[in-house]
Amino acid sequence: MIGDPISHTLSPAMHNLALAHHGLNMRYLPFHITPKDLSYAIQGFRAMRMVGFNATIPHKESLVSMVHRLDPSAGRIGAVNTVLIDNNRELIGYNTDGYGYLTALTQAWGRDPKGATVLMLGAGGAARAILLTLLEAGVSRIVVANRTKARAQALLDGLAVHFPNANTDALYLRMADLPLEQCDLLINCSSVGLHGDAFDGLDLSRLPSGAFVSDIVYRTEPTPLLQQASALNIPCQDGLGMLVHQGAKAYEIWTGKTMPTDIVEPYLRSLNGAE
């Protein structure tokens, strides 16, 4: 795993548990790699004949132009979070974020999002992968609300070439203007909540019956968004499931084996709660 910063990632614990479960003579290690050292690090990985690596902030977009081949989903998303180094030392770039989110969402919600109206708060790093995956899954409408409306619109414009007929809209993140009453799925794609902060003025009681709240942030204590949802008996999920399932897809790409997510996720929750 490469990133800047990297110190708090749970990915090594996840992958090393799975590798031990399958008895594989491999290790998954975190490397603090700054943008200026990215190309040197990749060449080192190739020279050492590593099987592959994950990438997090700020390297996902940079890797698109640095790999030899792109999986179609990574090409559409414009970001790479998983790289396979093949026997010829060529780099093949994938993006497993959307798969991880959709798998975790479907399990937690108990349904797929086809036909749903989605309200997304924030247009951060994972938003593009989640947006594209939800559009592929057949949601009926997506509204992206961001503190900078232009950034939300740019995110949607970047996907328009793949989904020219998609029903989408960009809004300024003003709580009174959010179409909560028409929302089936509310997603926090921003970092709000990571440090215990909240969306001031967000009233989840405006959501219709049957709505689901999804937060891609994961932390020891539930975020204020999830605390409010739970207090109102609105079903919800944090971001740990997305982490696990995007990691499971990467693990399969590297090893050809299925990660034991039923063992991994409880283990990570026990670690996260102990920190």
Tell me the per-residue pLDDT of 148-159, one tens digit each, with 9 for 90 and over.
999 999 999 989
Higher confidence at residue 272 or residue 171? 171
pLDDT score at 273: 54
Residues in the annotated binding site for shikimate = 9-11, 56, 81, 97, 218, 246
pLDDT above 90 (res 8)? no
pLDDT score at 275: 39
Residues 77, 192: one domain? no
Q: Which amino acid is at 159?
A: L
Range of lowest pLDDT (124-128, 139-143, 174-178, 266-270)? 124-128
Tell me the average pLDDT across 101-112. 97
pLDDT above 60 (res 200)? yes
Residues 46, 70: one domain? yes
Residues 234, 102: one domain? yes
Nearest in space to 238 (alpha carbons), one of 220, 252, 253, 254 = 220
Residues 261, 182: one domain? no
Residues in the annotated binding site = 9-11, 56, 81, 97, 122-126, 146-151, 216, 218, 239, 246
Residues 225, 259: one domain? no
Kindly report the CATH number assigned to the domain that includes residue 226. Answer: 3.40.50.720
Considering the chain, what is the average pLDDT of its residues? Answer: 94
The structural domain count of the chain equals 2
pLDDT score at 272: 64
Q: Which amino acid is at 256?
A: G
Residues 61, 135: one domain? no
* Active site positions, annotated: 60
pLDDT score at 219: 86
pLDDT above 90 (res 147)? yes
pLDDT score at 125: 72
Nearest in space to 9 (alpha carbons), one of 38, 32, 43 = 32
Residues 22, 110: one domain? no
CA–CA dist 191, 125 (Å, integer): 10
Q: Evaluate whether 226 touches 213 at the Cβ level (below 8 Å).
A: yes
Kindly report the CATH number assigned to the domain that includes residue 17. Answer: 3.40.50.10860
Instruction: Write out the residue range of the structural domain in which residue 216 sits.
Output: 98-238
CA–CA dist 262, 272 (Å, integer): 16
Residues in the annotated binding site for NADP(+) = 122-126, 146-151, 216, 239
Tell me the average pLDDT across 180-201. 93
* Strand 82-85 to 91-94 pairing: antiparallel
Residues 65, 149: one domain? no
CA–CA dist 14, 27 (Å, integer): 11
State pTM to two decimals. Answer: 0.94
Residues 264, 160: one domain? no
Q: What is the pLDDT of residues 245-266, one digit of tens each?
A: 999 999 999 999 999 999 999 9
Tell me the average pLDDT across 92-104. 97
Residues 15, 112: one domain? no
CA–CA dist 5, 71 (Å, integer): 26
Q: What is the pLDDT of residues 74-93, one digit of tens each?
A: 999 999 999 999 999 999 99
pLDDT above 70 (res 175)? yes
Residues 189, 261: one domain? no
Residues 143, 216: one domain? yes
